[in-house]
Amino acid sequence: MRLAAAVGLIVLFFVLQGLAARVVVAQDAETPATPVVTDDQVNAVAKTLYCPVCENITLDTCGTAACADWRYEIRLQLESGRTIEAIREDFVRRFGDRVVGTPLDPVLRALSLALPYAAAVLGLAAAVFVVIRLTRRMDRSAMRPAAGTVAEGAPRADYADQLERDLAGDRP
C-alpha cells in the first residue's frame, strides 16, 4: 500500500511538472543576448550597499575608483541575470555584514533595529523614575521642620528660658 502511494505521488509530481513546463521560444536576431541594464537599475542595487573602503557612504554616491569598479561589477552581475539578493549576498560574503548596513540574519537585523529604540525607552523610563523619586523626596523634606526649629505645640517657654540662661552665662 505504501509503495503504491509513493509511486502515485511520484507520477503525480511528474505530471504536474509536465503541465507547468513552459514553451521556450528562440530569440529573434534583433534581440540582444544580454539584457540592457540601465544606470538606474545599477544605482538601485548600489544604494542598498555601503562602500567597504569608505565609511557610511553608499556605493551609488561614492566617488572612489574602487566604488566605480564595484558599480561596474554590479552591472555585469545584473546583465548575467543575478538577482539583487544574490548580488547583496555576494558582497556580504566578500566584504562582511558592514556593506549592507544591517545584518542579513533576521535575528541580528531585528536586534540591530530594535535595540536603539529599547535603549531610548529604558533611558526615558529611568529619567522619569529619578524625577519622580526626587520630587517625592523634596516634598517629604518640605513637610519636616528644619533642624533646630521649634515644632508646633512644643513648649516655647522652655526654649526661651534656656536661651536666656545661655546668654547670661549661667550653667546648670
Give residue-wise pLDDT tens across range 21-77: 544 444 445 555 667 888 889 988 888 888 888 888 888 888 888 889 999 999 999
Q: DSSP secondary-structure letter at 152?
A: T
CATH class of 31-101: mainly alpha
73 touches 80 (CB < 8 A): no
Which of 6-10, 61-65, 139-143 has maximum average pLDDT? 61-65
Residue 104 is predicted with a pLDDT of 67
Whether pTM exceeds 0.75: no
Domain range annotation of the chain: 31-101, 104-140
Number of residues written out for the chain: 172
Give residue-wise pLDDT tens across range 157-168: 787 888 888 888
Q: Among all chains, which residue has been given the C-alpha cell 536586534?
A: 111
Which of 50-64, 100-114, 133-147 has maximum average pLDDT? 50-64
Segment (H or E) for 160: helix 156-168
Among positive and negative, which fits the CA dihedral 113, 115, 119, 121? positive
Higher-pLDDT residue of 140 and 1 is 140
In whole angstroms, give the CA distance from residue 69 to residue 8. Answer: 53
79 touches 37 (CB < 8 A): yes
Residue 24 is predicted with a pLDDT of 46
83-108: b (≥16 Cβ within 10 Å) or e: eeeebbeebbeebeeebbeebeeeee
Q: Averaged over 84-99, what is the pLDDT?
A: 88
Among positive and negative, which fits the CA dihedral 160, 164, 166, 172? negative
Nearest Cα neighbor of 49 from 66, 32, 33, 25 is 66
Q: Give yes or no for residue 120 having a pLDDT over 50.
A: yes
